[in-house]
Structure 1
Amino acid sequence: MSAPLAETLTQLRVGNQKFLIDFYQRSRHLFARWAQRKHRLSAPQAHELLQDTLLDLYDQVVDGRLTLMPTDLRAHLYGMAQQRLAAHVPAHQPLPAAETSRRQHLLAQFSQLGTDCQQVLTYFYFRGYNFDKMGAKMGFPNATVARRQKSTCLRKLHELMRAGHEPITGSVV
């Protein structure tokens, strides 16, 4: 892999799927051989399984379930594919309507937060910054202030989700 794993994870979190596309193009024939040998899938079925597995990985990164990129990504994806087959998950299964609605509502409420809160939560949850690094980026005096600001912003977001209030603006400091 040309990019470090942490950089790849960050790129995925911001929506850049180039890594997944490149991985698919490089690995689909090898994956198809493995799937044919191990699970008796045809090449088109294996390609579809790999695509769905890569989309699952992407969803896990974007929604925060996967916070560290596996060091052996190929083995991790093969394991995910096996779990998908064992669970008999249909191909290209969209998110349930309730989950889609929840995510849209969360995004709408997130956009109502002030820019400082948006930045604090983005640094922590999507870029994986620790409190020291987040504090330095935001100009806070120390990591404790960064931790408290994250907590305050998360509480504001939670309140917005529960109540649907008017936009909250202003600085977190």
Structure 2
Amino acid sequence: MNTPQQLAEVLTSLRVGNQSFLITFYEQNRDLFARWARRQHQLPAPEAHELLRTVLVEFYDQVSDGRLTKLPPDLRAYVYGMADEQVRAARTTAVLPKAEAGRRQRLLGLFRQLGLDSQKMLMYFYFRGYNFEKMAGKMGFANANVARMQKSICLRKLYELRLRTETAAS
């Protein structure tokens, strides 16, 4: 699955509800993923299989609701990254006080509702510590000022999502 045509076909079939690609992906990568999860996170095979299923459902949700507009060229690496993020988030929140853990989980849920480009932008700035020039290069922007404005827009979207969910909960 290398050509853009094939990637576009997969994305289209996922958007209309055809999950056969994900089922095939799961069947072909289940054992390899279990070995990776055991090596990276000391997860036994049944937990690794459940994690892979959870991540594939999350991936499907991203495609179906439009957060993911193009299929990553290396889907396996993308899925493994999602799994790694989930395991690390679970471990991080496990040692926090309940209120803080809940707040972080809600924020992570809101973060996942952002588009892929917005997620990348905020990850580059806040978690990897990239400056605006490096972000502009990574994201394909004309200069650091464009990156700065785009980061601001992404942060504003996250803030507005948070306000909407708090207002809806009240």
> What is the TM-score when the length of structure 2 is the normalising length?
0.51
Instruction: Give unmatched runs, 5+ long, in structure 1.
Output: 90-95, 97-173
Q: Give 1:112's aligned residue.
A: none
Runs of 4+ in structure 1 over 4 Å off: none
- Residue of structure 1 equivalent to 2:51: 49
Matched, 1:9 2:15: no
Aligned counterparts of 1:81 and 1:7: Cα–Cα separation in 2: 25
In the TM superposition, what whole-angstrom CA distance separates every residue of 1:74-121 from its partner, at most 9, and x where no partner exists?
Answer: 0000000011111119xxxxxx9xxxxxxxxxxxxxxxxxxxxxxxxx
* Whole-angstrom CA distance in 2 between matches of 1:34 and 1:70: 20
Using the aligned pairs only, state the percent identity. 60
In structure 1, the partner of 2:23 is: 21
- 1:36 is aligned to 38
Confirm whether residue 75 of structure 1 aligns to residue 80 of structure 2.
Answer: no
RMSD over aligned Cα atoms: 2.4
Match of 1:109 in 2: none
CA distance in 1, matches of 2:89, 2:43: 16
Unmatched runs of 5 consecutive residues or more in structure 2: 92-105, 107-170
CA distance in 2, matches of 1:79, 1:6: 21
Q: Map 1:18-167 to 2 at 5 A.
A: 18-88=20-90
Choose between structure 1 and 2: higher helix proportion.
Answer: 2
- Shift in Å at residue 5 of structure 1? 0.6
Number of residue pairs the alignment of both structures matches = 92
Report the TM-score when normalising by structure 1: 0.50
